[in-house]
């Protein structure tokens, strides 16, 4: 266990990600299929910003002191006959207020509700006296949430277009294609989690979904940059194949990806604890939930999906298949020579085992030629078995000049 962790931190190929890519494809495909089915069959728990509804707002200070969200919720439930969609405190200090969101209420029900809230909670107006006018209500149109979603969709399309151009220019078109597939995977999984668990979808959730795409792309670009570094000039070498060099890149960046994700989760957890547990702000909860789901999906796709996709797209090119065949032929030749030697050691230069990804140091020397063959006996290094110099002397060693 300790050696495995050590290899993970040193990036020496403890995890065969590329070699087991069929497993990761199956897991990702199953997860995406479940998420799509959930979105089609269960749908989403849309907030009132998307479906329309009523907002009732009143000061958080009453005659008897601060008014809690639980008190406001009890009055609403007793008056309307059902609980509200959400009750939260917005603002701080003297500007704090209680915001109640519910499905659409008719004019009479809204009037009765405001009267009940005033009679039981006695909220204070700006003059410091109980005031029924301090309680306001407003209707929320479903078109507002739809407009937010439309603008977010436009932003998503523009973002994906710019990302495609950048990756195609900076890296290669096949890397851009793999990154886009990984981003689509992250969007579908995050949206599917919202559908499966039943989280409420609000405009803040839609905006938060766009923020996690940047995180996922950052992690993918880091891995791709290492893949490009490890595979530079690979077609002229026979030390390792493209899948092996790509797997080495994943291992070299694995702990960085995991540590980055853990660090990113900490402020998200603080949003959940502080924003929901202490302040009761629903917008912070919506942002934190979508970011938590997106970070997990983005970390998974950058490690187990993006690079294996690049490998499959690359190995479809004849030049890389031929290079892999040359690597296999070289290893087979070295294995035959090792088996034919009397002792099996010291007679041939053993190749670096590519099944376990070599270290980055060995990769930098991949361009150096490896001498293969029998080592010269010690005595012959200076001329003859006695170890003395066998260099000819006198006339025997000089040209006659004739």
Task: Please tell me whether residues 150 and 106 are part of one structural domain.
Answer: no
Total number of domains constituting the chain: 2
Query: Is 168 among the domain residues?
Result: yes
Inside any domain, residue 295: yes
Q: Does 197 reside within a domain?
A: yes
Write down which residue in 135, 153, 186 finishes a domain.
135
For residue 275, the model assigns a pLDDT of: 63
**Gap between the Cα atoms of 88 and 92, Å rounded:** 12
105 and 165 belong to one structural domain: no
Per DSSP, the residues of 80-141 read HSS--SEEEEES-GGG-EEEEEES---HHHHHHHHHHHHHHH-BB-TTSSB-GGG-EEEEE-
Q: Are residues 110 and 152 in the same domain?
A: no
pLDDT for 86: 82
Judgement on whether residues 304 and 236 belong to the same structural domain of the protein: yes
Per the domain annotation, does 34 fall within a domain?
yes
Q: How confident is the model at residue 178, as a pLDDT?
A: 94
**pLDDT value of residue 372:** 36
Q: What is the residue range of 219's domain?
A: 25-46+143-314
pLDDT of residue 371: 36
How does strand 45-46 pair with strand 65-66?
Answer: unpaired
The pLDDT of residue 246 is 94
Give the residue among 373, 377, 381, 371 at the shortest CA–CA distance from 341.
Answer: 373
User: In the listed set 101, 135, 169, which residue is the last one of a domain according to the structure?
Assistant: 135
Clarify whether residues 168 and 98 are in a common domain. no
Indicate the length of the chain as a whole number.
402
Rounded to whole angstroms, the Cα distance separating 44 from 269 reads 24
Place of tokens 């990036």: 11
With respect to residue 9, please indicate whether it lies within any of the assigned structural domains.
Answer: no
Q: What pLDDT score does 381 carry?
A: 42
Q: Mark whether 210 and 309 lie in a shared domain.
A: yes
Give me the tens of pLDDT residue by residue for the chain, a chain 402 residues long.
Answer: 556 666 666 656 568 999 999 999 999 999 999 999 999 998 888 877 787 888 899 999 898 888 988 999 999 999 999 999 888 887 777 778 898 988 888 889 999 999 999 999 999 988 888 888 899 988 877 677 677 778 878 888 888 889 889 899 999 899 999 999 999 999 999 999 988 888 778 887 888 888 888 888 888 999 999 999 999 999 998 899 999 999 999 999 998 888 888 898 888 888 777 766 555 556 677 778 888 888 989 999 999 999 999 999 999 999 999 999 999 999 999 999 988 876 554 444 444 444 444 443 333 333 333 333 334 444 444 444 444 444 444 444 444 443
Give the CA-trace dihedral at 175, 179, 181, 183, to 10 degrees: -170
The residue out of 108, 135, 162 marking a domain boundary is: 135
Triad 156, 180, 195: Cα angle to 5°? 60
181, part of any domain: yes
pTM assigned to the model? 0.70
Give the separation between CA 65 and CA 61, rounded to whole angstroms. Answer: 6
- Considering the domain architecture, whether residues 152 and 112 belong to the same structural domain is answered as no
Residue 93: which CATH number?
3.30.70
Same domain flag for 33 and 130 = no
Closest among 93, 10, 20, 103 to 55, alpha carbons compared: 103
Q: What is the CA radius of gyration of the chain?
A: 34
pLDDT in the model for residue 6: 64
* pLDDT confidence of residue 8: 61
Same domain, 192 and 286: yes
Which pLDDT score, from 0 to 100, does residue 354 have? 43
Q: What is the CATH number of the domain that holds 279?
A: 1.20.1640.10
């Amino acid at each position: 266990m300790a050696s495995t962790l050590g290899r993970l931190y040193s990036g020496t190929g403890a995890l065969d990600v590329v070699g087991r890519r069929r497993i990761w494809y199956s897991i990702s495909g199953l997860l995406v299929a479940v998420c799509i089915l959930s979105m089609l069959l269960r749908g989403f728990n849309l907030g009132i910003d998307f479906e329309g509804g009523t907002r009732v707002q009143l000061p958080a200070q009453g005659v008897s002191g601060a008014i809690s969200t639980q008190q406001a919720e009890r009055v609403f439930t007793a008056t309307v006959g059902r609980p509200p969609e959400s009750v939260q405190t917005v603002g701080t200090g003297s500007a704090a207020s209680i915001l109640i969101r519910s499905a659409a209420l008719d004019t009479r029900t809204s009037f009765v509700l405001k009267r009940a809230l005033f009679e039981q909670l006695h909220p204070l107006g700006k003059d410091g006296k109980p005031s029924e006018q301090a309680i306001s209500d407003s209707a929320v149109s479903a078109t507002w949430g739809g407009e937010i979603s439309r603008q977010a969709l436009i932003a998503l399309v523009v973002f994906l277009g710019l990302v495609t151009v950048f990756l195609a220019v900076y890296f290669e078109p096949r890397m851009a294609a793999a990154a886009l597939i990984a981003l689509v995977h992250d969007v579908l999984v995050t949206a599917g989690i919202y559908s499966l668990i039943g989280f409420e979808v609000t405009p803040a959730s839609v905006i938060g979904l766009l923020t996690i795409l940047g995180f996922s792309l950052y992690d993918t670009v880091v891995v791709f940059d290492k893949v490009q570094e490890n595979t530079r000039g690979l077609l002229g070498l026979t030390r390792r194949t493209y899948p092996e060099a790509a797997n080495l890149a994943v291992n070299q960046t694995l702990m960085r990806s995991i540590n980055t994700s853990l660090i990113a989760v900490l402020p998200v957890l603080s949003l959940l604890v502080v924003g929901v547990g202490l302040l009761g702000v629903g917008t912070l909860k919506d942002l934190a939930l979508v970011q938590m789901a997106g970070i997990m999906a983005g970390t998974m796709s950058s490690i187990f999906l993006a690079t294996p996709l690049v490998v499959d797209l690359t190995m479809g090119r004849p030049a890389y298949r031929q290079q892999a065949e040359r690597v296999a032929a070289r290893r087979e030749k070295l294995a035959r020579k090792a088996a034919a030697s009397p002792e099996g050691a010291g007679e041939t230069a053993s190749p670096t085992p590519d099944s376990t990804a070599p270290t980055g140091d060995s990769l930098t020397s991949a361009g150096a030629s490896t001498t293969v063959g029998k080592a010269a006996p010690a005595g012959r290094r200076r001329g003859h078995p006695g170890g003395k110099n066998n260099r000819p002397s006198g006339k025997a060693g000089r040209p006659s000049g004739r």
